[in-house]
Amino acid sequence: QDLAVDVITIFPNYLAPLRESLLGKALERGQVRLGVHDLRAWTTDVHRTVDDTPYGGGPGMVMLPEPWGRALDAVAPAERAQPRLIIPTPTGRPFTQAVAAQLAAEPWLLFACGRYEGIDARVAEYAGGRMVVDEISLGDYVLCGGEVAVLAIVEAVARLIPGVLGNALSASEDSFTAAVDGLLEAPAYTKPALWRGLAVPEVLLSGHHARIRQWRRERSLDRTRKRRPDLLDS
Ligand code: 6GU
């Protein structure tokens, strides 16, 4: 087994797509283990409460530390080897291909999905006493909770594990990788060579590998200049 993934959430069904496609195959082969846990299993009141109003006032609700403390203790017992705890949050460090590669080198990832206005900050502080805590953001917009972020992060990480992706070479030549100098990839084409009056660029049919490489480099730079000039600054 190359990777173990645990997810603690109040919406376990939200993570069902993880068992499909790419990751589903890796799960069947036993390359990846996936555990999805309902946070409400660690509540103690009849209403199975997971949140309360924020100290200091303000809108929304904050997730209670007690269920989270019990959940972390159950999924990652303190006396054993610890996972890396990933907390998806818009206030986290940006998720990039480099972060995905870093996470793909870990044996065990534990995701804590917050909802509402987030999880009581003491949970991350407490967890930091025994595991590496990584607060990660997908980008500068706000989702309702961490579940969709987990789907994105796990997919990006799993496809970097050797044998999970069909073609091992394709991951090493993706956009944002060293193969394209951290830039966007050139556009791709397949058959037919002429479709609805639109022709595939002639050079790609030429079999001239040096010219194809040069063409792709130019298209990669064009695209990056237009869409992601920030990538050219570094
Ligand atoms: Cl990782 N979580 C949430 N809740 N919202 C986000 C996000 C993550 N990344 C961008 N917005």
Residue 131's pLDDT is what? 98
Percentage of the chain lying above the pLDDT 70 cut? 98
Residue 170's pLDDT is what? 74
Higher pLDDT, 225 or 168: 225
Q: Tens of pLDDT along 186-219?
A: 999 999 999 999 999 999 999 999 999 999 999 9
User: Please, which pLDDT band fits residue 21 given cuts at 50, 70 and 90?
Assistant: confident
Q: Is 20 a catalytic residue?
A: no
7-36 as b/e, with b when 16 or more CB fall inside 10 Å?
bbbbbbebbeebeeebbebbbeeebbebeb
pLDDT above 90 (res 223) = yes
Q: Are the beta carbons of 54 and 61 closer than 8 angstroms?
A: yes
Q: Cα–Cα distance between 154 and 157 in angstroms, integer?
A: 5
pLDDT above 90 (res 180) = no
Q: Cα–Cα distance between 69 and 125 in angstroms, integer?
A: 11
Compute CA 19 distance to the chain's CA centroid, rounded to the nearest angstrom. 15
Query: Using only C-alpha atoms, what is the Rg of the chain?
Result: 22
pLDDT above 90 (res 178) = no
Q: Tens of pLDDT along 79-137?
A: 999 999 999 999 999 999 999 999 999 999 999 999 878 999 999 999 999 999 999 99
pLDDT above 70 (res 26) = yes
Q: Is 103 annotated as a binding residue?
A: no
**Active-site residue, selected from the candidate residues 67, 83, 120, 159:** 159
Higher pLDDT, 226 or 177: 226
Residue 169's pLDDT is what? 66
Mean pLDDT of the chain: 95
Ligand 1 atom nearest to CA at 139:
10
Residue 166's pLDDT is what? 64
Residue 140's pLDDT is what? 97
Q: Is 83 a catalytic residue?
A: no
pLDDT above 70 (res 161) = yes
Residue 96's pLDDT is what? 98
CA of 138 to the centre of ligand 1 (A): 6
Average pLDDT, integer, range 20-40 = 92
152 lines ligand 1 (CB under 6 A): no
Q: Is 174 a catalytic residue?
A: yes
Ligand 1 atom nearest to CA at 145:
4
Q: Cα–Cα distance between 223 and 231 in angstroms, integer?
A: 11
Q: Tens of pLDDT along 162-172?
A: 888 765 667 88
Residue 56's pLDDT is what? 98
pLDDT above 90 (res 27) = yes
